[in-house]
Structure 1
Amino acid sequence: MNFAIVGCGFIAKKHAQAIENIEEAKLIAVCDKVTAAMKYYTETYGATPYTEMTDLLEDEQLDVVCICTPSGLHAPLAEAAAKAKKHIILEKPIAMTLAETDRIIKACHENKVKLAVVHPNRFRPVVQELRNILDKGLLGKISHASCIVNWNRNQEYYDQAPWRGTKQYDGGVLMNQAIHNLDLLLWFMGQAEQVFSMEATRLRNIEAEDVSTGVIRFKSGALGTVQAATTVYPRNYEESITIFGEKGTIKIGGANALYFEHLQIEGMTETEAQALKEKVKSDPWGTPGHQHIVSDMIEAIKEERNPAVTGEDGKRALELVLAFYESAELNQPIELKEGDYACR
């Protein structure tokens, strides 16, 4: 199938590499307002360059569009792609508001095209193993969970482009970095019902937050805590999710949540636990998540099914971020009721 990339910034290279690694995929076009940004893709992959999305979408050979622009531009571009009958792989977050998200999902449904949102952490080997443990019910009733993203994004990172760290086009640590972990938390724990959050902009010269803490009550009755920051010195320190159940405790962690840091389950011997830890450790990254998403999109089209990470999945993660934002602004708990939240 033929792919195009819209927005040739940093993340676009991951899409291009994923497409190149899949036999059934080919990158045939790229689109960016800055001609120089497309040079790498035209020279490396032979992709046709376009400076206008409308011209790109007229290519009848094009099957799938990967949208890699600043987040605040996702909605109009995704709507245009859907109306042109092109399937869509959309970088996270799906959009900046729920109203924009609903427009994207509606356009895809009306035009019968597939929509996949890029939450690649779901495909990490340790995450897949944890999901398998939860699916088997080996932890029993879940008491609570914690989610931590203590990373470094220095001022140079934010100064790379004028849209970084803005509320309109990017958001802060929750919207840009921790949204992947919030997606995993929802995937593991189920629907969130209530949140309370505090946030601050402590060290970076940006409009959005660089540190955030919050608590969640899930529909199941379980509780969760979230801590996220880009202020950690001097480099990424910890990305982890810990789940506490009546029959076990599991922590996946490290600087990038790639390993079992703690694995203790009723009935599982120390030898079995160590074997599972070593299995993950032998190939912690596995196949790149973007490659999984591109490959899954091809299979979803062929099999006429939904992609593994749907627009609705992307919406749930966004809804949680926006609820955190509103709670911090109002300094009060927020009930999650779909459609209530808009980015400040």
Structure 2
Amino acid sequence: MNFAIVGCGFIAKKHATAIEKIDIAKLVAVCDKVPATMEYYKEEYDAEKYTELEQMLEKENIDIVCICTPSGFHTSIAVQIAEAKKHIIVEKPIAMTIEDTDKIIDACTTNNVKLSVVHPNRYRPVVQELRKILEQDLLGKISHASCIVNWNRNQEYYDQAPWRGTKQHGGGVLMNQAIHNLDLLLWFMGLPNQVFSMEATRFRNIDAEDVSVGAIKFGSGALGTVEASTTVYPKNYEESITIFGEKGTVKIGGTNALYFEHLDIIDMPDNEIKELKESIKANPWGTPGHQWIIEDMVSAINEDREPAVTGEDGKNALKLVLSFYESAKLNQPVIF
């Protein structure tokens, strides 16, 4: 299948690398308003270069387009691609508002094209194993969960691109970093009923928040906490999700949530726990998440099914971020 990439910034290289690793996939074109950013893809992959999306869609034989632009531009680009009858893989967050998200989803539905949102952390080996534990109900009834992202993004990071840290095009720590973890929290725990949040901009000279704390009441009745920041000195400190159940406690953690930091389950023998921990340590990253997402889209088209991470999944993660923002603004709980 023929791929194109729109937006040739940092994240686009992950898409290009993933496409190259898939036997039946080929990167045929790239599109960006800045011609110099496309040179790498011409030299490395022999991809045709376009500064105008409409021209690329008309001239090239494309099956799937990866949208890697700043988040605030996703909607208009996605609608144009959908109307050209091309399938879409869009980087997180799917959009910056629910209204814009619905425009993307509706355009894909109307034009009968598939839509997948890049939440690659779902494919980390430790995350996959925790999902299996929950699907097998090994933890029993869940009382609560904790989600933590305490990272460092210094001022130089935000100054690299004018959209970073802006409420219109990038968002703060919740929208741009922790949204991956919020997606996992929803994947593990289900949808919330209610959220409450407080946020601040403490250290970074940006428009959006650099630290946020929040609480969630899930539909199941379980509770959750979220702590996210880009203010940690001097480097990334912790990325973790902990789930507390009546029959077990599991924490995936480290600086990038790659390992079982705690795994204690009544119905899981000690030797099985040890083997599982060791197998994860032996290959913590596994196959890159972007490769999984792209391979899944190819399979979804061939099998005529929904992709594993759907537009609705992307919408739910965005809605949780926006609910936190609304709660912080109102200084009161909000209904999800």
Counterpart CA distance in 1 for 2:315 and 2:138 is 29
Which whole-Å CA distance do the structure 1 matches of 2:35 and 2:130 have between them? 44
- Aligned twin of 1:340: none
**Alignment match, 2:14:** 14
Q: How does 1:21-100 map to 2 (within 5 A)?
A: 21-100=21-100
1:208 is matched with which residue? 208
Q: Secondary structure at the match of 1:62?
A: coil
Structure 2 residue identity aligned to 1:136: Q
Moved over 6 A (4+): none
Question: 1 CA distance for matches of 2:176 and 2:280?
Answer: 27
Counterpart in the other structure of 2:189: 189
1:272 Cα deviation from its structure 2 partner? 1.4
Give the structure 1 partner of residue 253 of structure 2: 253
CA distance in 1, matches of 2:312, 2:256: 25
Q: How far apart in 2 are the matches of 1:68 and 1:315?
A: 17
What TM-score do the two structures reach when normalised by structure 2? 0.99
1:241 correspondence with 2:236: no
CA distance in 2, matches of 1:83, 1:333: 39
Secondary structure of the equivalent of 1:177? helix
Within 2, Cα distance between the matches of 1:315 and 1:164? 21
Amino acid at match of 2:25: A
Once the two structures are TM-superposed, the CA of residue 271 in structure 1 deviates from its matched residue by 1.7
Q: What letter matches 1:251 in structure 2?
A: K
Show the counterpart of 2:275.
275
Q: 1:342 corresponds to which residue?
A: none
Secondary structure at the aligned position of 1:80 is classed as: helix
Q: Which amino acid aligns with 2:20?
A: E
TM-score by length of 1: 0.97
SS of residue paired to 2:59: coil
Distance 1:267 1:243 in 2: 16
Residue 269 of structure 1 deviates from its aligned partner by: 2.2
Tell me what 2:331 maps to: 331
Structure 1 gap segments, 5+ residues each: 337-344
Structure 2 regions of 5+ residues with no counterpart?
none
Deviations 1:202-234 (A, max 9, x none): 000000000000000000000000000000011
Superposition map of 1:223-238 within 5 A: 223-238=223-238
User: What code does the residue aligned with 2:238 have?
Assistant: E
- The answer as to 2:148 corresponding to 1:148 is yes
Aligned Cα root-mean-square deviation (Å): 0.5
Q: Summarize deviations over 1:183-218 as a string: whole Å, max 9, x none.
A: 000000001110000000000000000000000000
2:315 paired residue number: 315
Q: Secondary structure at the match of 1:27?
A: strand
Identical aligned residues as a percent:
74
* Residue 60 of structure 1, CA deviation: 4.9
Q: Aligned with 1:57: secondary structure?
A: helix
Aligned positions, number: 336
Deviation per residue, 1:216-274 (Å, 9 max, x gap) = 00000000000000000111110000000000000000000000000000022222111
User: What is the CA–CA distance in structure 2 between the aligned matches of 1:59 and 1:182, rounded to whole Å?
Assistant: 39
Shift of 1:137: 0.3
Q: Measure, in 1, the Cα distance between the counterparts of 2:238 and 2:59.
A: 44
Give the AA of the match of 1:87. H
